[in-house]
Amino acid sequence: MTALATYAVTEAVSRGRAHAEPAPTARGEFQRDRDRIVHSTAFRRLEYKTQVFVNHEGDLFRTRLTHSIEVAQICRSIARELGLNEDLAEAIALAHDLGHTPFGHAGQDALAKCMAAHGGFEHNLQSLRTVDVLEEHYAAFDGLNLTWETREGILKHCAKAKAAELGDLGRRFLEGTQPSLEAQLANLADEIAYNNHDVDDGLRSGLITLEQLQELEIFAGMRRAVELDWPGLAGRRLIHETIRRMINAMALDLIAQTRTNLVHSRVVTLDDVRAAPRLAAWSEALAPKLRELKLFLRDNLYRHYQVLRMTDKARRILTELFEAFIADPRLLPPQYQKRALEDAPRAVADYVAGMTDRYAIREHRRLFAVGEIH
Ligand code: MG
């Protein structure tokens, strides 16, 4: 491993774990975090949670699991190039969506509405709650007992009212300071991953077309470059060659702009990173092209009528599940009934948020379909 930059997170500067543990053998602290995330129950559930397309709609679409693996790959590559802590970057990337509900953003919106009067629901906070409280893997503590720095990276956004409750971890949202560069990168690696794989999945599904994408500067430019190198290339290879160049261009742009920002802000230490303006960023040349791509995906893919039919159904399923359990918490499985004694809405939200798409569909059927007895 090449030497880390002076502003990288290292074990020496880590704020450690909430519960003291002996140092790991044969691996570092952030590798241990990464390993705990991969072995968690919530991580395996990502396989059956929607990114954009519901899992059963096709075998080749991204799920939250393959999305998270792509984010980790991109994040690690960039972290290594910038001399940052690759293990930490990977751990944050793999954990970044652990708190996502079934059915993608429609599920999150539905649960947020259900929980509005009960302390709210937000998937970043739920990711943190998953690794801090909900995982039941260790004898000595609840959750995964991850390092402070991994937890900091997982908490990407946080409303000020919530931040005040989170103590040290929430302070940056009140003070307007930044997280580590590894955390900043994970955030943008997420954007690189979904903007590109949603183009791929959108084309595969037939909901968007190459002709439509041709109107986007970034796609048209990369496609032109592919066609110059490979005249006559068509079909899947043309699409993949174009998308891989887009991923590469975004990653290189992020690396170059971040380097420039580090120099301009005279960043030397991790404390400098936290005090400086956000350092991981797109260049001024790329930012508008990315915005154009995002708007295109929003208008043409995420709001496509066939996707909206799915999200509408998903919203109804989650809302009805929530309301049924709130009306009678005795319908919850025993371990959640115990939690419900303290805070019924939170216990129901934890249960519903943890569901995979197909589990939610089955549970809804078990509760609502006449003729289903178990
Ligand atoms: Mg994500």
| CA 263 to centroid of ligand 1, rounded, Å | 29
Q: Is residue 46 part of a domain?
A: yes
**What integer pLDDT is reported at residue 52 of this predicted model?**
80
Look up the domain containing 351 and give its range.
Answer: 309-368
Same domain? 254 vs 129: yes
Do 48 and 359 form a contact (C-beta atoms < 8 A)?
yes
Residue 216 lies in a domain: yes
How many other CB atoms are found less than 10 A from the CB of residue 24?
A: 14
Task: Indicate the residue among 260, 289, 308 that finishes a domain.
Answer: 308
Based on the domain organization, do 330 and 226 belong to the same domain?
no
| Residue 272 belongs to some domain of the structure | yes
Centre of ligand 1 to C-alpha 321, Å, is 25
If asked whether residues 205 and 251 sit together in one domain, one would say yes
Based on the fold, state whether residues 293 and 328 are members of the same structural domain. no
User: Is 108 contained in some domain?
Assistant: yes
What is the Å distance from ligand 1's center to 327 Cα? 32
Asked whether residue 105 falls in the same domain as residue 80, the answer is yes
Q: Do residues 230 and 255 both lie within one domain?
A: yes
Q: How far is the CA of 128 from the centre of ligand 1 (A)?
A: 14
CA angle in degrees (0–180, nearest 5) for 118-42-187: 80
Q: Is residue 171 part of a domain?
A: yes
187 alpha carbon – ligand 1 mean position (Å) = 8
Report pLDDT for 3: 84
Distance 29 CA to ligand 1 centre (A): 24
Is residue 11 domain-resident? no
Last residue of one domain, picked from the residues 308, 332, 359: 308
Here the CATH number for the domain that contains residue 245 is: 1.10.3210.10
Whether 200 maps to a domain, the answer reads yes
Same domain, 332 and 240: no
SS (H, E, C) the chain: CCCCCCCCCCHHHCCCECCCCCCCCCCCHHHHHHHHHHCCHHHHHHHHCECCCCHHHCCCCCEHHHHHHHHHHHHHHHHHHCCCCHHHHHHHHHHCCCCCCCCHHHHHHHHHHHCHHHCCCCHHHHHHHHHHHHCCCCCCCCCCCCEHHHHHHHCCCCCHHHHHHCHHHHHHHHHCCCCCHHHHHHHHHHHHHHHHHHHHHHHHHCCCCHHHHCCCHHHHHHHHHHHHHCCCCCHHHHHHHHHHHHHHHHHHHHHHHHHHHHHHCCCCCHHHHHHCCCCCCCCCCCHHHHHHHHHHHHHHHHCCHHHHHHHHHHHHHHHHHHHHHHHCHHHCCHHHHHHHHHCHHHHHHHHHHHCCHHHHHHHHHHHHCCCCCC
Check whether residue 233 and residue 188 sit in a common domain.
yes
Statement to judge: residues 99 and 123 lie in one domain: yes
For residue 64, report the distance from its CA to the centre of ligand 1, in Å: 7
**Same domain? 345 vs 232:** no
Q: In angstroms, what is the span from residue 305 Cα to ligand 1's centroid?
A: 23
Q: Give distance in angstroms: CA of 227 to centre of ligand 1.
A: 31
Task: Please tell me whether residues 336 and 294 are part of one structural domain.
Answer: no
289 lies in some domain: yes
Q: What is the pLDDT of residue 149?
A: 98
**What's the structural domain count of the chain?**
2
Q: Please identify every stretch of the chain with a pLDDT value under 70, giving residue numbers as ranges.
A: 1-2, 55-56, 372-374
Query: 281-303: buried (b, 16+ CB within 10 Å) or exposed (e) per residue?
Result: bbeeebeebbeebeebbeebbbe
289 and 345 share one domain: no
Distance 4 CA to ligand 1 centre (A): 26
pTM of the model: 0.96
97 CA to middle of ligand 1, Å?
Answer: 5
**Pair 68, 93: CB distance under 8 Å:** yes
pLDDT of res. 369: 87
316/8 Cα distance (integer angstroms): 45
Residue 337 CA to ligand 1 center (angstroms) comes to 30
What's the gap in Å between 32 CA and the centre of ligand 1?
22
pLDDT of 228: 98
- Give the model's pLDDT for residue 61: 85
Cα of 122 from ligand 1 centre, angstroms: 14
In the listed set 282, 308, 334, which residue is the last one of a domain according to the structure?
A: 308
